[in-house]
Structure 1
Amino acid sequence: MPESTPGLIAVPLTSDLLRGALELERTERGILPHRLPAWARAQWLDGQLALAESQPSGVRVVFRTRAAVVELDTVPTKRVYPGAPPRPDGVYDLLVDGRLTAQGTVAGGDTLVFDMAAGTAETRRGAPGTLRFADLPTADKDVEIWLPHNETTELVALRTDAPVTPLADRGRKIWLHHGSSISHGSDAASPTTTWPALAAALGGVDLVNLGFGGSALLDPFTARTMRDTPADLISVKLGINLVNHDLMRLRGFAPAVHGFLDTIREGHPTTPLLVVSSIHCAIHETTPGPASLDPDELAAGRLRFRATGDSSDRTRLTLTVIRDELARITAHRATTDPNLHYLDGLTLYNEADAAELPLPDHIHPDAATHHHIAHRFARQVFENDGPFAPEPA
């Protein structure tokens, strides 16, 4: 256990100091934030989903204080792939009154070792580490510590050198978003620079991010979770995981989309609901999945994906097919649901953008492209007459 710095006050890590998590699991060491509730996690005991939902993308510790020093003890889970270069430690972003002020990392913690050849994973237990921010302004201020979007993080202890109070309601709308690893934040530089976090900041809303790497698959438990989660604005970004998993055929896709939207509407009958299709991904525009690692690229030391499906099979899903279907489905439903909207993902990132900002592994955007997508999304969705734009006074 890390040693406490003399003179600091222990602050209980209560639910009113956390935003962006849907459930807090009490563990023997502290608190583990989850982005899916336990009942939903129990419906598909999958390692990929379990890892993704426990990585706290969009989850932050928030409070108001005059403290100049803040310490947070955590147990991060580091992922290790033997034979591959070490992954960088997850980044914590410190915001003071909404401005990025400092960043940090936590060494140590647990280790999740993946044996790619055997298809197995082993967890090795480690010790907590300490994140420390000092020399903060001593005036009253709003403090937000955004947890690493790509590193499961157990919260152990919080300490400050001045009292802490929960952050008051700032009157912001809650934006509930679901998507794939791109929404989760893959290859973003830090938790506040995933494209949903950036777009939320530009739109002046509070984000609840249900972007799950490899797991935007029209799962009914995700729809029910969204149905039961308070929200003022809702978006669902669909496409890439359905293709690269080769999960379903066209016959099953459209009814599944209707069912997913029907379930959300049970809890949010008139909330603005935006359906977003995939950004441009050359390997899957007209070629179905499954996707696999390109062995030639892997032999050269590069991690890149390729599409392996049969393009002649018209029943299989490609990104082009999915965009057409989503546009058709939302147009049909919007005749009786005026608060349902559609956004073509190619307006966020298209073939011309790919020439300038290529996807490094052929699927996931890099840090610069997260900014690009976020600014385009904010302009189209939060501004002017966009579906999430504030109503005229």
Structure 2
Amino acid sequence: MSVTLLIDLDDTLLTNPLESFMPAYIKLLSKKLAPHVSPEKMVPQLLAATDCMIKTPSSRKTLEQTFDDNFYPVLGLKKTDIEPLINDFYQNEFNELQKVTSLRPEAVRLIEYAASKNYTIVVATNPLFPQTAMQSRLSWAGFSQDNFPFNFVTSYEIMHFSKPNPAYYAEILGRLGWPRGPVCMVGNSLKEDILPPFSLGIPGFWVDGNIEKLDETQKEYIPLGSLTEVIPWLENLPDPQGLISLKDVQGVLGTLRATPYVLQYLTEGLGDEDWKQRPGAQDLSVLELLNHLLDVETEINAPRIELVLSAENPFIAGIDSDPWIVEREYQTTRTPQVISDFAVQRQSSIDKLAALSEEEWMRPARHSFFGPTTLLELVRFIALHDIDHIRQVYALITTNFKDK
């Protein structure tokens, strides 16, 4: 079975006490930017812009764009003027911070083990820094460019969500095509590394965790211990055989939020003919799959959500949307604009769902296929439908067009 290992960086792969690292980092960056902006102005805005990256629950921007919008204009700066200076900072002065950190030999052994087993390994660090800063810290942890077994590293250039938003983890898994084999997370923060992915059904190992901080239920499903204890845990991971278990509202919402950005990433660089290519006579093209998602979101999902919220225990008729693919001639009448259209419609649904109370999520309905159900169960089906089609798009693209 193919295992996907997500692993945190700070205080997991690399000992990096933030109470020492952050003041030293801010001091160095303040000095670098002092010719353009005083530390008295820069530091509060740096923290405020970083806070925006953390607290934005859903955005059509990357985290880098969110940071930029809340940093440079407020300080009266142009990014184009400052960017060369910041790039130089991360290439040079930033590396002075290595002395604040320390390598963890047991982390190196863990990654060597995972690589020897051909795991897919993702450095799932909070993506609040640029890729250059992530690469530097990984080199301090013992993973230089010539010893780099990671499939990718999250950073603010590529991610739209940060920890502890479950959408951060859903975006990672979507970029990997929602793997069908075992997926797990290893990290040192209960709040950021363990509980959010669990809402998506992803088990986690709490590195150096404190059992006294777990309630009785959590003690049953959250293993903890030192890094040396992770390998035996990995060896006994159950195989979900492709099944995804979205545990709660936040896991469902996280999946819904991530889908548009996953689709955008997967289809980047496709040529005009690639969108319409069908590998086999019975296969669908990328264009057909995505327009199916759009029309289902617009004409089935959104009206059903509205119906359950406005009526008492309504009856919901099942709809076979597959014939629409031919009837509506997706292949000849639609364009790749579909992703933008889908993102707009999906955001409208999320805005409505995110405001619901726990009681509203449990509003009942009667479905012609599923029988008695709730709004939460119906929306969970929407999220699982997303995952199924992301898997199809991923397989289609990686098999026929490009190496993802």
Please indicate, yes or no, whether the TM-score normalized by the shorter chain is above 0.5. Answer: no
Richer in helix (by share): 2
Which protein has the bigger strand share? 1
Greater C-alpha Rg = 2
Shorter-chain TM-score category?
Answer: under 0.3
TM (normalized to structure 2)? 0.27
